[in-house]
Chain A
Amino acid sequence: MLDKIKNSFDDAGKLSLFTARFFKEVFKWPFQLNEFLRQCYVIGYKSLPLVTITGFIMGLVLTIQSRPTMSKFGAESWLPSMVSLSLIREIAPVITALICAGKIASGIGAELGSMKVTSQIDAMEVSAINPYKYLVVTRVLATTIMVPILVFYADFIGILGGYIGYNVHGNASMYSYFTNVIEHLEFLDILPATIKTFFFGFFIGLIGCYKGFNASGGTASVGHAANSAVVTASLSIFIIDMLAVQITDLFFS
C-alpha cells in the first residue's frame, strides 16, 4: 500500500518534469513543422469518422430521450436550444475528448512505447536528434489544436443529429430549427467550453507521450503504456471538466 502511494507521488513528480520539459522544448528552434502537420492529419483528419458517428448519435439520442420530459412541461419548443446548449457546454467536449483519449492517447502511448522498448528513441538520441522535440512536442501541440477543432465539429454534427431526432415526431424546417438554436446561444456558452477543450487536448497528448516514453521492459509494457494512457487521460478529462465548471460558475454566472 505504502509502495503504491510512493509510486503515485513518484509518477506525479516525473509527469511534472515531463511537462516542464515540454514548455522548455516548445520554444526552441528548429520547429518540426512536417512532423507536426503529419500528426495533425493523423490525430485530426483520421478521427473524423469516429467523431462524426458519435457526435450524430449524441444529438439524436439526447433529443429523442429529452422530448417526453419536455413535452410534459409543454416546453417542446425549447428542445433545440436545450439540446444545443447541452451539447456545446458539456456533452460534446467531454464525449469527444473521451473518444480522443481512447483513440489518440492509446495510439501515442503504444507507438512511443514500442519505439522505446525497441531502442528507436535511443537511436534518435544517439543520432543527435532530440526525440523529445521530434516526438513529444509535435504530438502534444497537434492534440492541443486538433481536439478543440474536433469538438467544434462534433457540436455541429450533434446539432444536426438533434434536428433529425426532433423531426422523428415533429416537423420543423432546418432553417427554423437552427434559428432557434442560434437565438438561444450566447458567447459565454461557447467560450468556457472551448477553453477547456484546449486543456483536454493538451493532457491527452501529454499523457499519451509520457506513458509511451516511460515504457520499460518487453512488449508487455507497450500494452500497459497504451492502457494506462487511456485510463489516466480519461480521468484527467473529468478532473479538468470539474475544475472548468467550477471556474466558469465562479466568474461567468
Chain B
Amino acid sequence: MTATPLIAVTNLRKSFGTNEVLKGVNFSVNEGENLVILGRSGSGKSVTIKCLVGLIPTDEGEMKVFGTDVAQLSYQELNEIRLRIGFLFQGGALYDSMSVRDNLSFTLKHHSPKLSNEEVQTRILEVLENVGLAESIDKMPSELSGGMVKRTAVARTLIIKPEIILYDEPTAGLDTITSREISDLILAVQKKYKTTSIIITHDMACAKSTGNRIMILKDGVINAAGTYDELEKSSDEWVRSFFI
C-alpha cells in the first residue's frame, strides 16, 4: 500500500438551515485503502461522501480528490472526476424501469458510445459474474432480493471501472449472512479492481472485515480514528460503545 492520499478533506463544513451538520471535518484516504466512517444516525456520514461527489454543495472547506478540489470545479470538470468514482447508494438506487442488463448498459453506452453491442454485453457479463449475478441479467429490480439489489448496484458502479468507490450503508436492511456476503464482495472488488473505498456503515462486522482504518464522526467533527483493534480498546467510553 502506498501513502498517496487520493482523497484529502480539510475543514469541511455544511449546514442545513440552522442545523450545522459538519463543523470542520478533516481526513484523508490513501490509495488502495478502505476507510470506514462510523457515527450515529444524522451525524453527517452520508453528507460527507455526498459532498465528495458534488451531490451536496459544501459551505466551506477543501475536498481534494485525485489532487483536485472538487468544490471548485465546473460541472463538466466535476463529471470527469465522477467517472473515476463509483457511488453505492443505501437503497441501491437502481433504475426501476430498466432490467439489470439495461441498468449496467445505460451508463456504459452513455460514456462509451463507440463500443459495439457485443463489447457492451461482454463487459456486462464479466462484471455481473464478478458480483455473482450473471443468472439475473434480465431480471427487473423489483424481482431482486435486497442483497441482489446491492450486488447489482455494485456491478453498476464497477462497469465504468472506478478508482474510488463510496459505499453508503452497503449492508443496511440485510440479514447477517447477506451482510457478510456484501462485505466479502467489497473486499473482492478491492482486490480485483484495486479500488480505494470509503464505507459508511453501522454494521460493526462489516466495519471490522472491510476497513483498514475506522473514523468516528460525533457532533460534526472526527471524534476518533484508528484501526478496529485500537478503537475497540479506546479509553473513551463513547467510542467503545460502538464495539459492544
Smallest beta-carbon distance B9→chain A, Å: 17
Smallest beta-carbon distance B102→chain A, Å: 12
Beyond A128-B79, A128-B111, A129-B110, whether A122 also contacts B160 by CB under 8 A is: no
- In the complex, which residues of chain A have a beta carbon less than 8 angstroms from the beta carbon of B91? 118-119
A129 touches B89 (CB 8 A): no
- In the complex, which residues of chain A have a beta carbon less than 8 angstroms from the beta carbon of B80? 128
Among B50, B80, B95, the most chain A Cβ lie within 10 Å of the Cβ of B95
B95 touches A123 (CB 8 A): yes
A120 touches B95 (CB 8 A): yes
The docked-state distance in angstroms from the alpha carbon of A15 to that of B191 is 47
Let me know if B3 is at the binding interface, CB within 8 A.
no
The docked-state distance in angstroms from the alpha carbon of A204 to that of B89 is 31
Q: Please, how many residues of chain B have a CB less than 8 angstroms from a CB on the other chain?
A: 23
Let me know if B82 is at the binding interface, CB within 8 A.
yes
Q: Please, how many residues of chain A have a CB less than 8 angstroms from a CB on the other chain?
A: 14
- In the complex, which residues of chain B have a beta carbon less than 8 angstroms from the beta carbon of A90? none
Let me know if B12 is at the binding interface, CB within 8 A.
no
A123 touches B82 (CB 8 A): no
B107 touches A120 (CB 8 A): no
Let me know if A126 is at the binding interface, CB within 8 A.
yes
Smallest beta-carbon distance A126→chain B, Å: 4
Which residues of A111-147 are within 8 A (CB) of B? Answer: 114-115, 118-120, 122-130
B111 touches A123 (CB 8 A): no
Beyond A127-B107, A128-B82, whether A118 also contacts B160 by CB under 8 A is: no
Smallest beta-carbon distance A111→chain B, Å: 8
Smallest beta-carbon distance B207→chain A, Å: 23
B93 touches A129 (CB 8 A): no
Which residues of B32-60 are within 8 A (CB) of A? Answer: 50, 53, 55
The total of Cβ contacts below 8 Å across the A-B interface reads 46
Let me know if B231 is at the binding interface, CB within 8 A.
no
- In the complex, which residues of chain B have a beta carbon less than 8 angstroms from the beta carbon of A122? 50, 55, 89, 93
A125 touches B55 (CB 8 A): yes
A120 touches B111 (CB 8 A): no
Let me know if B25 is at the binding interface, CB within 8 A.
no
B85 touches A129 (CB 8 A): no
> Which one, A118, A128, A130, contacts B93 given CB within 8 A?
A118
Interface of A is mostly: helix
A88-127, CB under 8 A of B: which get 1 and which 0?
0000000000000000000000000011001110111111
B93 touches A119 (CB 8 A): yes
Smallest beta-carbon distance A130→chain B, Å: 8
- In the complex, which residues of chain B have a beta carbon less than 8 angstroms from the beta carbon of A125? 55, 82
The docked-state distance in angstroms from the alpha carbon of A130 to that of B82 is 12
> Which one, A114, A119, A120, A127, contacts B82 given CB within 8 A?
A127
B110 touches A123 (CB 8 A): no
The docked-state distance in angstroms from the alpha carbon of A123 to that of B85 is 12
Beyond A128-B83, A129-B110, whether A123 also contacts B160 by CB under 8 A is: no
B76-115, CB under 8 A of A: which get 1 and which 0?
0001101101010111011110000000001100110000
- In the complex, which residues of chain B have a beta carbon less than 8 angstroms from the beta carbon of A126? 53, 55, 82, 85, 87
> Which one, A114, A118, A123, A129, contacts B87 given CB within 8 A?
A123
- In the complex, which residues of chain A have a beta carbon less than 8 angstroms from the beta carbon of B93? 118-120, 122-123
The docked-state distance in angstroms from the alpha carbon of A130 to that of B50 is 17
Beyond A118-B96, A128-B111, A129-B107, whether A123 also contacts B83 by CB under 8 A is: no
- In the complex, which residues of chain A have a beta carbon less than 8 angstroms from the beta carbon of B89? 119, 122-123
Chain A residue nearest to B86 in the complex (CB): A126
A11-53, CB under 8 A of B: which get 1 and which 0?
0000000000000000000000000000000000000000000
- In the complex, which residues of chain B have a beta carbon less than 8 angstroms from the beta carbon of A119? 89-91, 93
- In the complex, which residues of chain A have a beta carbon less than 8 angstroms from the beta carbon of B110? 127, 129
Smallest beta-carbon distance A3→chain B, Å: 14
The docked-state distance in angstroms from the alpha carbon of A123 to that of B97 is 14
- In the complex, which residues of chain A have a beta carbon less than 8 angstroms from the beta carbon of B111? 128
List the 8 closest pairs (A to B, CB-CB), nearest first. Answer: A128-B79, A119-B93, A123-B93, A126-B87, A128-B82, A119-B89, A127-B107, A128-B83
A-B pairs with beta carbons under 8 Å apart, 20 shown: A114-B96, A119-B89, A119-B90, A119-B91, A120-B96, A122-B55, A123-B93, A124-B95, A125-B55, A125-B82, A126-B53, A126-B55, A126-B82, A127-B82, A128-B79, A128-B83, A128-B111, A129-B106, A129-B107, A130-B75
13 extra interchain contacts, Cβ-Cβ under 8 A, other than A127-B82, A127-B160, A128-B83?
A: A114-B96, A115-B95, A118-B91, A118-B96, A119-B89, A120-B94, A123-B94, A126-B53, A127-B110, A128-B79, A128-B82, A129-B110, A130-B75
